[in-house]
A and B are shown apart, each in its own frame.
Chain A
């Protein structure tokens, strides 16, 4: 009977995710050094179940990893291994990894083999300290070489102990099973059978002398008796003359010993196999994550990323498949071109659509190689926050969203440290103590949210806390004290907030050891990725840091628009709607320019030809269109001449060949070969808020 066990996969995934959630919350509660044995037990059981299920359903990578985790937890449970903060951290990372692996299997997506190899490696290293028992079982294992098959058959003496029936075993079943192996004969030895009056019906009195002829491996015979090896007298001798050695009960343990040994060796084997596959050193991605934990303030010394990317064969295969499809499409199109006639136009259009699909798949496939979900950078935040909260006596609820947002490896390597510092600062400086919070009418527990998402070819990460907000006065006086500006300058609140990014700025002397590198390091790191960091803070309500980093190889859906005989491209995702409006709908406000009332909300109107110093062709609002776009939660209306087509465009960054231009995210080459600039909505918004930024742009357009 063949039973398809894949029908139970969904249930397995479901319970495994639950198990991982339980593990994570227990791990977060764990106090290194003084761990609750119950918690360790719960964690152990979750790992144990996962391992069992994964083994049963054939997910070997997961059962391998959980096997290592299980023995580590077992040692912790038995007190053979200390529960250190590092161990808890590594366990938490493993939980994240397992979650990712399960998700990948569930969606039949490629798994993050690099991370797995790395974590498995570190687990093995952490376990390496106590490998003495492996040696022990090796010794035992040597003896077992005697267990070979005998050609002739076996002579067996089997005398169950009186209590055998009480184990639920029955000699009759064993003899019956033995008889299925070969030519079987038995002799009952009943000399121990008492007179009927003394007979205990529940006891076993008989013994057997058994002969089993045939080419039967000894293991098969032993397996039949493996459950009763301590409940009977048992000897087995080969019928063939060469290997005749009486075997006592202890020999029955052989199969177990073998298993034990192979289990103990498993992690090492796996690691060495992995290394054999990759001739390149392990990428240092995850190692950096660890650095961050160990020293969250160390932003400057990010280790350089290794130059190679490890790739599973499945990924290469799927790319090869894509290339194959591309070749097919290409040959189909060239065949079409060979004898083209107008009635074949629908075929041509179909073919082109297929080519577009292939290209898109190809692009996703290739950028997918470089992309990792950002959760590897987020992974250790729960622990980091927990530690800090314990230390500072603050209560905080951490929310992570967009953990699956994919990020280029080069960004991931550099973003971990600054992000950790921001999160750390939010708790250190942003959130108040429970008493203060209660006194100001907030809930006792502060909220800290880290959010990652893509927006128009950029990676956006927001770190938001609902704490006290930045203290303008403190920042201002500190800046003056540090000689960063003179005391009689008048600055807007927003600008004062931005002072924290100035080099060497740090407000809190008490916690100086944790933040002395300050925000300028964060800014430097972000800027080295050509990104920007911004802060928005409202006193008493909280602070939001927004990091915006351009994705290095980005293809976006673009809307081409015309402005004063020039073409520009707007990222389609940022467009909310397009309106036709009249001059009369506009309010002119000093310092704010033109405002339009859109459903009870004022939105500023920006005339793009003004921004780029073009000679307008259409200047009457009624003759053109207003495209309402949104960036970072704020809407603005862009006045353009007309909407043109929509198409996918590849963003080429201006910084690479020219320099950063405020309001532009890059340029692209259109289908007709012309170069077109791509508008950066967030940049335009910043330009509107602070026209002085335009100074840098003067020569750009």
Chain B
């Protein structure tokens, strides 16, 4: 069981991700954009951050970069959810400090299988 921060500007994706993770006995906190997520991340610690890339206010790459600058998130797994499967986007995620990515569309099974790769 892990504590997970799920960030997505789309309410339906947020609900789907939260529901799936909660069903797998994880604790989930969700945020609508990068800035909100960053604030939440500073208030409590998370074992994993799942973030959408394209979001208003602060996008997922910026959030990743900002989180990595925080002492307590230097080694935390950060997965970016992206619909863009192009190499460029993944490279950007990597440069920003993301651990890995999950290409949209994904189903609950794929989500759970993927987070297993970064959770003990």
Q: Which of A1, A42, A253 has the most CB of B within 10 A?
A: A1
CB contact between B101 and one of A53, A63, A227 (< 8 Å): that residue: A227
With contacts A56-B105, A173-B118 taken as known, whether A15 is within 8 angstroms of B83 at the C-beta atoms is no
With contacts A3-B23, A56-B107 taken as known, whether A48 is within 8 angstroms of B98 at the C-beta atoms is no
Contact indicator per residue, chain A 362-384, by CB within 8 Å of chain B (1) or not (0): 00000000000000000000000
With contacts A5-B108, A256-B90 taken as known, whether A49 is within 8 angstroms of B10 at the C-beta atoms is yes
State the Cβ distance, B47 to closest chain A Cβ, in Å: 11
Q: How many residues of B contact A (CB 8 A)?
A: 44
State the Cβ distance, B13 to closest chain A Cβ, in Å: 6
Q: Is B76's CB under 8 angstroms from A168's CB? A: yes
Contact indicator per residue, chain A 27-42, by CB within 8 Å of chain B (1) or not (0): 0000000000000001
* In the complex, B42 has a CB within 8 A of chain A: no
Interface 9-residue window, one of A98-106, A115-123, A257-265, A538-546: A257-265
CB contact between B105 and one of A14, A44, A48, A55 (< 8 Å): that residue: A55
Contacts of A5 in B (CB 8 A): 16, 107-108
CB contact between B13 and one of A53, A169, A231, A253 (< 8 Å): that residue: A53
Contacts of A49 in B (CB 8 A): 9-10, 13, 54
* In the complex, B39 has a CB within 8 A of chain A: no
Nearest-CB residue, chain B, relative to A228: B100
Q: Is B118's CB under 8 angstroms from A257's CB? A: no
Q: Is A15's CB under 8 angstroms from B105's CB? A: no
Complex Cα spacing A1 to B110, Å: 11
With contacts A49-B10, A259-B103 taken as known, whether A166 is within 8 angstroms of B86 at the C-beta atoms is no
Complex Cα spacing A53 to B20, Å: 15
With contacts A8-B16, A11-B15, A169-B100 taken as known, whether A48 is within 8 angstroms of B117 at the C-beta atoms is no
Q: How large is the interface on A (under 10, 10 to 19, 20 to 34, 35 or more residues)?
A: 35 or more
* In the complex, B37 has a CB within 8 A of chain A: no
Contacts of A166 in B (CB 8 A): 68, 74-75, 97
* In the complex, A12 has a CB within 8 A of chain B: yes
* In the complex, B26 has a CB within 8 A of chain A: no
Contacts of B56 in A (CB 8 A): 42, 45
Q: Is A3's CB under 8 angstroms from B12's CB? A: no
Complex Cα spacing A226 to B75, Å: 18
With contacts A166-B74, A169-B99 taken as known, whether A57 is within 8 angstroms of B104 at the C-beta atoms is no
Q: Is A3's CB under 8 angstroms from B108's CB? A: yes
Complex Cα spacing A5 to B99, Å: 27
* In the complex, B44 has a CB within 8 A of chain A: no
Contacts of B16 in A (CB 8 A): 5, 8, 56
CB contact between A168 and one of B87, B99, B120 (< 8 Å): that residue: B99
State the Cβ distance, B116 to closest chain A Cβ, in Å: 8
* In the complex, A272 has a CB within 8 A of chain B: no
CB contact between B85 and one of A3, A52, A173, A256 (< 8 Å): that residue: A256
Q: Is A167's CB under 8 angstroms from B12's CB? A: no
Contacts of A167 in B (CB 8 A): 94, 97-99
With contacts A8-B16, A56-B104 taken as known, whether A168 is within 8 angstroms of B78 at the C-beta atoms is yes
Contact indicator per residue, chain B 74-97, by CB within 8 Å of chain A (1) or not (0): 111110000101110010001001
* In the complex, B24 has a CB within 8 A of chain A: yes
State the Cβ distance, B107 to closest chain A Cβ, in Å: 7
* In the complex, A51 has a CB within 8 A of chain B: yes
CB contact between B106 and one of A15, A48, A56, A168 (< 8 Å): that residue: A56
Q: Is A260's CB under 8 angstroms from B86's CB? A: yes
Contacts of A173 in B (CB 8 A): 117-118, 120
Q: Is B117's CB under 8 angstroms from A11's CB? A: no
Say what secondary structure dominates the interface of chain A.
helix
State the Cβ distance, A11 to closest chain B Cβ, in Å: 4
CB contact between B54 and one of A45, A253, A259 (< 8 Å): that residue: A45
CB contact between A227 and one of B9, B23, B100, B109 (< 8 Å): that residue: B100
Nearest-CB residue, chain B, relative to A223: B117
* In the complex, B11 has a CB within 8 A of chain A: yes
Contacts of B99 in A (CB 8 A): 167-169, 227
Q: Is A257's CB under 8 angstroms from B87's CB? A: yes
Contact indicator per residue, chain A 137-176, by CB within 8 Å of chain B (1) or not (0): 0000000000000000000000000000111111001100
Contacts of A698 in B (CB 8 A): none
Complex Cα spacing A103 to B8, Å: 24
* In the complex, A230 has a CB within 8 A of chain B: yes
Complex Cα spacing A165 to B75, Å: 6
Tell me which residues from 38 to 63 in chain B have a Cβ below 8 Å from any Cβ of chain A.
Answer: 52, 54-56
Contacts of B77 in A (CB 8 A): 168-169
Contacts of B87 in A (CB 8 A): 253, 256-257, 260
With contacts A168-B118, A227-B100 taken as known, whether A263 is within 8 angstroms of B107 at the C-beta atoms is no
State the Cβ distance, B23 to closest chain A Cβ, in Å: 6
* In the complex, A177 has a CB within 8 A of chain B: yes
Q: Is A52's CB under 8 angstroms from B76's CB? A: no
Contact indicator per residue, chain A 608-644, by CB within 8 Å of chain B (1) or not (0): 0000000000000000000000000000000000000
Tell me which residues from 45 to 85 in chain A have a Cβ below 8 Å from any Cβ of chain B.
Answer: 45, 48-49, 51-57, 63, 70
Q: Is B104's CB under 8 angstroms from A1's CB? A: no
Contacts of A63 in B (CB 8 A): 105
Complex Cα spacing A53 to B98, Å: 22
CB contact between A15 and one of B12, B78, B100, B107 (< 8 Å): that residue: B12
Contacts of A52 in B (CB 8 A): 10, 13, 52, 83, 104-105
* In the complex, B1 has a CB within 8 A of chain A: no
Contact indicator per residue, chain A 594-605, by CB within 8 Å of chain B (1) or not (0): 000000000000
Complex Cα spacing A427 to B97, Å: 55
Q: Is B86's CB under 8 angstroms from A256's CB? A: yes
State the Cβ distance, A175 to closest chain B Cβ, in Å: 12
Complex Cα spacing A7 to B13, Å: 12
Complex Cα spacing A202 to B24, Å: 31
Nearest-CB residue, chain B, relative to A74: B84
Q: Is A1's CB under 8 angstroms from B85's CB? A: no
Complex Cα spacing A63 to B76, Å: 32
* In the complex, B112 has a CB within 8 A of chain A: yes
Contacts of A55 in B (CB 8 A): 83, 104-105
Nearest-CB residue, chain A, relative to B119: A173
Contact indicator per residue, chain B 25-43, by CB within 8 Å of chain A (1) or not (0): 0000000000000000000
Contacts of B101 in A (CB 8 A): 227
Nearest-CB residue, chain A, relative to B112: A1
Contacts of A15 in B (CB 8 A): 10-12
State the Cβ distance, A511 to closest chain B Cβ, in Å: 42
Q: Is A230's CB under 8 angstroms from B94's CB? A: yes
Contacts of B104 in A (CB 8 A): 52, 55-56
Nearest-CB residue, chain A, relative to B99: A168
Q: Which of A1, A56, A256 has the most CB of B within 10 A?
A: A56
Q: Is B23's CB under 8 angstroms from A53's CB? A: no
State the Cβ distance, A98 to closest chain B Cβ, in Å: 15
Contacts beyond the supplied A1-B23, A52-B13: 6 A-B pairs with Cβ under 8 Å: A12-B12, A45-B55, A49-B54, A168-B78, A168-B97, A173-B117
Q: Which A-B residue pairs are the 3 nearest by beta carbons?
A: A55-B105, A168-B99, A227-B100
Instruction: Provide 16 A-B residue pairs closer than 8 Å at the C-beta atoms, listed in order of the A residue.
Output: A8-B12, A8-B15, A12-B10, A48-B54, A52-B13, A53-B10, A55-B83, A56-B16, A166-B75, A168-B98, A168-B99, A173-B118, A177-B117, A227-B99, A256-B85, A256-B90
Chain B: residues with CB nearer than 8 A to chain A? 9-13, 15-16, 19-20, 23-24, 52, 54-56, 68, 74-78, 83, 85-87, 90, 94, 97-101, 103-109, 112, 116-118, 120
